[in-house]
Amino acid sequence: MFLSKRSNGIYYIFYDQPNGKRTCVSTKAKNKNDAFKFLGDFQNNLRIVSDSQVILIDLKSFSFDYLKFSEKFHTANTHRMLKIIFEQLKEQLGNRPLNEISTRDCEMFIFKKANVSNYTAQKYLAHLRAAFNKALEQGYIIDNPFRKIKNFKIPESLPKFLSDEEYKKLLAVTEDDDLKDLITFAINTGLRQMELVMLEWNQIDFNSGILILDNQLSITKSKKVRNVPLNKSAFEILEKRKVNSQSARVFTYKGAGIKADFISKKFKKLVVNAEINGDFNFHSLRHTFASWLVQKGVSIYEVSKLLGHADIKTTQIYAHLRSDDLRNAVERLD
């Protein structure tokens, strides 16, 4: 909201409506002091009208409700992240009414995270923008205070993937069959960690040779149902595990269900023992799946579908592996 003097000498108030559309109101004053007095009265009246239109709820109550919603519709990792974000937001802002949280308050919180890293700040911004959009839908606020904060520019980094030799070294130090099956299956399907640990036998169609991620046991990142075709290596693992399985889950560790944190820690130890790149984590297996496909000539479009990306732009990070295509293109000029 700001004052601006027009060519007729009268000051006007320019402000954004809840729908994002900018509008203006005449102060009917040519004197700057009179215009500022009108602005003060206008802001108070606007606040009174706004407050009367919202359902009052404090930050603590809203975060509790939103986290209950998150449990059903977000992945376990996202849910954990949201818990941390809301705790930190409450710590900085206090338990104030949701409609009293300003864009300035939000900027101070987000920019504090930017001092750590732009990547962290962008993640916090995206999660809170989505949460406050929900608050807007529910009538708790008349505008999303995170909406006007610009996205942070994240430098593109190339995905880390295993070479064939590194993969063999990793399998060589993986003595436990449960972990070896999980790693081999992950690198042959490109499934996310949570999709793997939550996978159940009723999601496998042995006749068609596909598995179905149907958002029933865990929510896929794109929220869409996805069919994943099984190659020979992946199919053989399923056939072998099915024979001795006493659980609804496909992947277990010594007969018990597996937690994502447990896999991450075990995988890190295997990476150290294999003496390969220490930056590799379990998600690197998904990157390896995609990178190997691209290197073998599979199109970015097909890889995007297999990975379940909502936007093909996400898959473009693997495009640099198709350098031979570009070389062949320029060599045509010769």
pLDDT digits (tens, 9 = 90+) for 258-267: 888 888 899 9
pLDDT confidence tier of residue 285, bands split at 50, 70 and 90 = very high
pLDDT of residue 85: 95
How sure is the predictor about 47, in pLDDT bands with cuts at 50, 70 and 90?
Answer: low
User: Whole-angstrom Cα distance, residue 286 to residue 193?
Assistant: 9
Question: Residue 33 corresponds to which tokens in the numbers above?
Answer: 């002091």
In contact, 190 and 230? CB cutoff 8 Å: no
CA-closest candidate to residue 110, choices 75, 139, 148: 148
Type of residue numbered 89: L
Rounded to whole angstroms, the Cα distance separating 159 from 152 reads 20
| Mean pLDDT (the chain, rounded) | 86
Q: Rounded to an integer, what distance in angstroms lies between the CA atom of residue 8 and that of residue 30?
A: 9
Q: How many CB atoms lie within 10 A of CB 5?
A: 14
pLDDT score, position 17: 65
Question: Above 70 in pLDDT, residue 216?
Answer: no
**Confidence band for 221, pLDDT divided at 50, 70 and 90:** low
Q: In whole angstroms, give the CA distance from residue 96 to residue 99.
A: 9
**How far is it, in rounded angstroms, from Cα 127 to Cα 81?**
9
Other beta carbons less than 10 A from residue 7's beta carbon: 5
pLDDT average, residue stretch 189-195: 92
pLDDT of residue 175: 92
The pLDDT-based confidence of 217 (bands split at 50, 70, 90) is low
Dihedral over alpha carbons 237, 242, 248, 252 (to 10 degrees)? -50
The pLDDT of residue 183: 96
Token output for 293: 């496909």
Q: What is the pLDDT of residue 11?
A: 86
- CA distance linking residue 66 with residue 132, whole number of Å: 10
pLDDT at 173 over 80: yes
What mean pLDDT is predicted for residues 298-311? 90
For the beta carbon of residue 191, count every other beta carbon within 10 angstroms. 27
Write out pLDDT tens, residues 85-137: 999 999 999 998 998 899 999 999 999 988 888 889 999 999 999 999 999 98
Give the residue-averaged pLDDT of 167-183: 95
Residue 29 pLDDT more than 90? no
Other beta carbons less than 10 A from residue 112's beta carbon: 13
Round to whole Å and give the CA distance between 157 and 177.
33
